[in-house]
Amino acid sequence: MRRAISAAGLSAIDADVFKLREGYKQGALYTYAPNVNVLHCPADRRALNSSVTSVTAPGNYAFGSFSGVASLNGQVSVITKRNILQHPSERYLWVEENDPRGENQNSWMMNPGTPPTFSTASFVDSVASWHGNLTTFSWADGHAETHKWLDGPTVTYALSMDPNKFYVSSLVPTFAKSPHDLYFLANGYATLQNP
């Protein structure tokens, strides 16, 4: 049973961190990884970037480097049971994300397009590139791995600290500009058409 999380008396930033940590403690992953700091990658330097501002809190801050995939119990859940996943070693659960609005906003999502070509796939959220054009993924079978981005527009988008990058279509790479990376992301994004 989930307990209510209260952050009364804390600053806006401290309240956000408190809620993120306490929420993580109530999740299933906490049993296996009981250090809440696993949500923050040391290479994620957003908290040091003076141009980052948060939508929900003033100042420069980012605690959660990783976001759960929206289609798997996230904000647009379509798969809610493990046994629906037919290829767990090929579907990621967590994505290292760069949301320059301050803190990662909700879960990580994309428009995956239609299998098997995924040619209409597009970004909604940004991946990160904290490790020299690499992003870390956690997969449904329990393994984690890094992936090197192959398309320049993906890297530019991933490294951008412009909080408007999500809203300006010319800043968001299309499948034509990032075919290798969007195919990789769409192929690993679990949907009912791609379980």
Q: What are the pLDDT tens digits along the chain (195 aa)?
A: 455 566 677 776 677 677 777 777 877 677 877 887 776 666 666 655 544 444 333 344 455 667 788 888 777 888 888 889 999 999 999 888 887 765 555 688 999 999 999 999 999 989 988 788 999 899 999 899 999 999 999 999 998 888 888 888 888 999 999 999 999 999 999 999 999
For 105-128, the pLDDT digits (tens) are 568 899 999 999 999 999 998 998
Residue carrying the six token digits 């209510």 = 4
DSSP line for 105-139: -SSB-EE--STTT-TT-EESSPBP-TTTSEEEEEE
- Segments of the chain assigned E as strands: 66-68, 92-96, 110-111, 122-123, 134-139, 144-148
